[in-house]
Amino acid sequence: MCTIYGYINTNEKVKNNKTITEMNGSLKNTNNYYINNNIAMGHSRISLHELLNVTQPYTKTQNNITYSIVFNGELYNRNSIKEKLLDNKNNANNYSDAELILECYIKYNEDCLNIFNGVYSFCIYNDKDNSVFIARDRLGIKPFYYTITNHTFVFSSEIKTLLKHPFVKASISQKEVMEIFSLGPAHSPDSTFFKDVYALQAGHYGIFSDSGFVTKCYWDLKTENNKDDINTVIEKTKFLVSDSLKKQMESNIPVCTMLSGGLDSSILSYLAKEETSLLNTFSIDFRGNKKSFKSNSYQPTEDFEYVNIMKDYLKTKHNAISFSSEDLHYLLKDSMISRDMPGMADIDSSLLAFSKSIKKHGFNIAISGECADEIFGGYPWYYKDKLLNSSTFPWALSENLRENILKKDLCKNYNIREYIKESYDNTINKVVLNSENDFENKFRQINYLTIKWFMTTLVERANSAAKYAGIKIRMPFADYRIFQYIYNIPAKYKLGLLHNNEAIEKYVLRKAFERELPKDIVYRKKSPFPKTYDIAYLDLVKKDIIKIINNPSSPLLSLINKEYVENIISNNGISITENWFGQLMTYPQTLAYLIQINMWLEEYNVSMDI
């Protein structure tokens, strides 16, 4: 995985390499940079010993125009791109992804984005126009951040690198406080938790020149009429998932899978086993869970029993990794730093620990089942009436809790409920509806909302954990072809509402692979990413938050209602009737989120313009 970064000021030439050197000083890996006229670009790469990696920034001159690119990500349709671009296919095999993207851009300009199937963010400099062209993949799997200040466009795929530029300051205003406490750990698609630091939205490109900065959406989920019958849908689903996995298994270094025993990871592990003679699989568990775990409607079972079924069924070389509460607690800060923002607390730190362990076992690429639930209908808000019709983010029905924790009258220009509602409406209103059935229309809206918000939050977590640990996490379900096709099949297909009103999560996906997997796996109820239920973890975060709120110099105290937080701690969370972020963030994770906010304010020396 790479980090790209740089800056351009169309009015001034770059005088020396000091600033670009300072930006790459935040990175621990091999760094290269390029300076020409008004542009300075850098590239930092984790060495994974893969072939076809050209040194970046990569520069090419054609028709007296010099183009330079920095690229982060991977293309999964290299062969079709090579055939489209180049007559000599033998030479085409020697082209890296960065070279292919630049060749496509030179030939097709922004239309090149319609050719790519992959995950990417990149920046291309054109010395004739003295401009940069930036882009992010269709589903926004790879990040791209930027800020514009003092006529300078500064960009990076990591916020920490962006902040190394002398023009970029770490600060928050009332708006960022709203993002943190109204929406967090999610954030608006074009925003971050830092003032004036923006995210290029998924499926968008941008151009910065002496005329200013413009962005444009080049791809989004499109409402179409899909008249395929259920059998055709199942057949096409099986092909698309299998084809995506096959493309993402291509590597000259070993690839492993993250196996939870759930439907998604089991399908991918099955398909991966078809591509290799020996498959290594990894699972995660937590010490103390067996004693403390309590079954509930969201997580009715633990994973280990189903992991054992799959590893024996596929005959993989399995690695069962377990972590203690102390491990998760210790990595709270590292997981925040990896993300550059407060996140999902131990839900983040557990994946970071998992990724580090995979790295220690000698693997640099892991296949994950991320992004299947969002498109195939794997969450309860897709079929439970109360959640489906909540008219807000159904995974965060916590307005009261959020209002109570935020310091009263801190954000006089904003209201938490209004901010949430506006954010929700701005997304829902983009959905084109084409059905006379109210349920189908509501499902489509929630489907779109989940992809744009909930999935993005989980993908950010996966990307940051993987990069910090020094591995790549590939997500075969995050193929735009899968998303565009499945987005337009009827909701009744996704939920199996064909003969009765009993919803079956991810019905189409289950049916597509029911003959390939054990029955217990195919019809196992969806279970979220595992988290610890060990009471020791709660004790650790309680000690931390008590220490923070009793320290007058803690920056968190400027933002929270101290008395309310003290009250919920004193009654051990009993007074909390809402979960901060659904079942992923209950009482322990809410405390840990506050801890991460305090860590973030201190670590990044965030100033408050409130």
Which active-site residues does the annotation give? 2
Distance CA 505, CA 527 (A): 11
Closest C-alpha among 402, 398, 461, 394 to residue 427 = 394
Q: What DSSP string describes 400-456?
A: HHHHHHBPTTS-TT--HHHHHHHHHHHHHTTPPP--S-HHHHHHHHHHHHIIIIIIH
DSSP H/E element including 40: strand 39-45
Measured from the Cβ of residue 531, the count of other Cβ atoms closer than 10 Å reads 22
Percent helix / strand / coil, the chain, rounded to 5 = 40, 20, 40
Which residues share a beta bridge with 258? 282
Beta-carbon contacts of 377 under 8 Å, excluding residues fewer than 6 positions away, are 383, 443, 447, 491, 494, 495, 505, 506, 507
Measured from the Cβ of residue 313, the count of other Cβ atoms closer than 10 Å reads 17
Q: For every residue of 567-589, which 3-state class applies, written as one string?
A: HHHHCCCCCCCCCEEEECECHHH
Greatest CA span in the chain, whole angstroms? 72
**Strand arrangement, sheet containing 317-323:** 317-323, 280-286, 255-258, 365-367, 472-474
Which alpha helices (DSSP H) does 450-575 contain, by range? 456-469, 480-487, 491-494, 507-512, 519-522, 535-549, 562-570
C-beta separation of 558 from 549 below 8 A: no
CA Rg value for the chain: 24
Put residue 582 in one of left, alpha, beta given phi > 0 → left and psi -120 to 50 → alpha: left
Closest C-alpha among 594, 593, 590 to residue 560 = 594
Do you know the residue count of the chain?
610
Closest C-alpha among 609, 464, 594, 610 to residue 180 = 594
Distance CA 414, CA 408 (A): 12
